[in-house]
Structure 1
Amino acid sequence: MKLLKIWIVFFILVLLGLIVFGIRENEALPGIIDKPKIFAHRGAINSFNESTITSYKIAAKNGVDALELDLRMTKDNVLIIMHDETIDRTTNGKGKVNDLSLEEIKKYETIGKYNGKTTKEDIPTLEELFQTFGDTQRYYIETRLVNGEAIMEEPLVQLLKNYNLLKKEKVAIQSFSEKSLEKMAKLAPDLRLTLLFKKGKFDLNKALSVDYPVIGLESSDASIKTINALHKQGKEVHVFFHNVESIEAQQEKMRELNVDGFFY
């Protein structure tokens, strides 16, 4: 009888433990930082043409934590700010960026439509952005391979040096390419690096195993389990969105998961 009571007590304790553990597993752990950072994704894209000086000026005026920008390299090895591989979607021109010289790129303009009006502006170089803002802003720069090679990193680092921006307080680097991040780590070891994962391609084991202090993933791949696991390992989590129609609801969900930053 006494043994039976002991087993009953043991069973109850185990059950309570499982219940408590299950509750904790479904609770978001605190983030690495208290309040999520806001990164101006390609500038203020709700107000002006993406990846333009004006768009970044609007974002800066709104007080974002960093200006997020994508780099592409022209045929004559100049870094410009452009998300796509081609200029087709955002400008009045056509062609792959790395098939065009800067002189050819500058013949075209970005095209947008806001409040019923067509808006136009030059395609900016990275140096033009630095000339505009200098060290008054923080930059979140996405690098990528050029024809499979890590060749934009050296001119990027040189530009950062020229404008006194080669410091982690001012610049962070992100990339889907580990090859690019590895080269940046050698050229600029003080900068914080973010490994990005494409939508539907997130690999938690991979994210936990790499040395990079920040992990970037698409919002639909974010869950309590994923975010908690990364936070337990001391990694910041930055989230981007593909579906912009319900962006505010998605942002609120990410806040509930205690992510450390999101692109907006």
Structure 2
Amino acid sequence: MSKKRKILLILILIVLLLGIFGFLGKSKPVAEPGIVASPKIFAHRGAIDQFNESTITSYKIASEQNVDALEIDLRMTKDNVLIVMHDETIDRTTNGTGRVSDLTIREIKSSVTLGQYNGEITMEEIPTLAEVLQTFGSKQKYYIETRLVYGETVMEEVLVRVLSEHHLLDKEIVAIQSFSEKSLEKMAVLAPDLRLTLLFKKGEFDLEKALAVDFPVIGMESTDASVEAVNALHSQGKEVHVFFNDLETLEEQQEKMKELNIDGYFTDNITFTKRLLGE
């Protein structure tokens, strides 16, 4: 073997060794402490693993399990009443059909939610936001999600009026979340004392935007959460609240979120989450 060839092989070996040692020397990012001392548990649409979602009974079960807040999705009826409903239509969760925004509250109340509990068929009215607030009052905390109606910010004024009527315009009792910046900006004007959370849809999380917006809490789907992103948000004093789209992987994902020191869990399984967090 020629001298030049030997030198070349030695140089290649040195480069390979430096690469290996460099790779081994890279330490895995460490999760920084969370903003809150104890992560919060939010009952996603109530105790939906135990009763029909977004019903008074579902929220009662969750409340009895001492969650930190009841997570409530809002929709607005044709006659401007806020009801507790996740979907645009009532088709999936009730025995009725139609878009909420095309139905009056009277038409909404003619349908019932359907489910199973302890092996029996269960039925319950779709509640209005006012009915939920009247049921629990200030004894329970609420995490309310707003959304645009046909692209417009029209439910926010109604929401503030309902909260005011129940004496619940209190940041210690009510927090507002939304995927819509427009909605949150309007809520910031109408109810400046309430804490606001900007949500990001699954696969659409934007760390640069999350750091730049003037909201104290950022919400994201669990598969978008990383130690780098959570650390960056925590470094700016922003809480990180996580939701879980896949029920089959919920427990596995929540265990991963615990390692990242997130600040809040939107959970569909209150019992598991409380056990995970040692409550």
TM over 0.5: yes
Q: CA deviation at 1:247?
A: 1.6
Distance 1:251 1:128 in 2: 31
Q: Deviations over 1:146-205 (max 9, x none)?
A: 011000000100111111110100000000000100000000000000000000000000
- 2:212 matches 1:205: no
Residue number in structure 2 paired with 1:196: 199
Task: Give the secondary structure class of the aligned counterpart of 1:263.
Answer: strand
Work out which of the residue numbers 36, 41, 44 in structure 2 matches 1:38.
41
Show the counterpart of 1:149: 152
Provide the residue aligned with 1:229 in structure 2: 232
Residue 221 of structure 2 is aligned to residue 218 of structure 1: yes
**Partner of residue 125 from structure 2, selected from 116, 122, 126:** 122
Tell me the equivalent position of 1:165.
168
- Which residue of 175, 178, 184 maps to 1:175? 178
**SS, match of residue 174 in structure 1:** strand
Asked if 1:106 is matched to 2:148, the reply is no
With 93-102 and 112-121 compared, the bigger mean Cα shift is at 112-121
What is the distance in 2 between the residues matched to 1:138 and 1:115?
A: 28
The correspondence for 1:74, drawn from 72, 77, 88, is: 77
Q: How does 1:14-25 map to 2 (within 5 A)?
A: 19=25, 22-23=26-27
TM-superposed deviation, 1:77: 0.2
Cα separation, 1, equivalents of 2:159 and 2:173: 14
Q: 1:115 Cα deviation (Å)?
A: 3.1
Please state if 1:48 is matched with 2:42: no
Over residues 3-62 of structure 1, what are the superposed CA-to-partner deviations in whole Å (9 max), with x where a residue is unaligned? xxxxxxxxxxxx99x95xx53x61000000122100000000011000000000000000
Q: Given the two structures, how large is their TM-score scaled by the length of structure 1?
A: 0.91
Aligned to 1:97: 100
Letter in structure 1 aligned against 2:39: P
TM-score, scaled to structure 2: 0.86
How many angstroms apart in 2 are the aligned matches of 1:60 and 1:226? Answer: 31
Q: Paired residue for 1:6? A: none
Question: Deviation of residue 219 (structure 1)?
Answer: 0.1
- 1:113 positional shift: 1.8
The one-letter code sitting in structure 2 at the alignment partner of 1:119 is T
- Could you list the runs of 5+ residues in structure 1 that have no partner in the other structure? 1-14
Identity among equivalent pairs (%): 70
Name the SS of the counterpart of 1:85 in structure 2: coil
| Unmatched segments (≥5 aa) in structure 2 | 1-20, 268-279
RMSD: 1.4
What is the alpha-carbon distance in structure 1 between the residues aligned to residue 66 and residue 167 of structure 2?
A: 22
Q: Measure how far apart 1:246 and its partner are.
A: 2.4
The structure that has the greater radius of gyration is: 2
Which amino acid is 1:58 matched to?
I
SS in 2 for 1:140: strand
Q: CA deviation at 1:141?
A: 0.1
Instruction: Give the match's secondary structure for 1:246.
Output: helix
Q: CA deviation at 1:142?
A: 0.1
